[in-house]
Amino acid sequence: MVEQVELNRLFWHSRRGMLELDVLLVPFVQEVYATLNQVDRDLYVRLLTCEDQDMFGWFMERSESEDPELQRMVRMILDRVQPK
């Protein structure tokens, strides 16, 4: 179970100040994070340590992370909002 303190902290870390990132990350942490397994939770936290410009490129699908695990998390977040 994810504690509310952890969710609150991640909510604020997910607010990047760049609208394109905020509309992807904030709902993800609010609606999905608590359902992730511990490996994916740790991966999401690691994603938040990346530079905004790098994440912007990944989420806009202009580039991909060199780390396949980070790219998997990006894809997981994108799959929530993109129709199949």
Residue 14 has pLDDT above 70, yes or no: yes
Q: How confident is the model at residue 2 (pLDDT cuts 50, 70, 90)?
A: confident
pTM for the structure as a whole: 0.92
pLDDT of res. 84: 65
Domains of the chain listed by start with CATH number? 2-79 (1.10.150.250)
**24-55 pLDDT, tens per residue?**
999 999 999 999 999 999 999 999 999 999 99
Mean of pLDDT values over 56-70: 97
Question: Which letter does DSSP use for residue 68 in this model?
Answer: H
Distance CA 84, CA 3 (A): 32
How far is the CA of 36 from the CAs of 10, 19, 53, 76, in angstroms?
14, 24, 25, 11
pLDDT of res. 66: 97
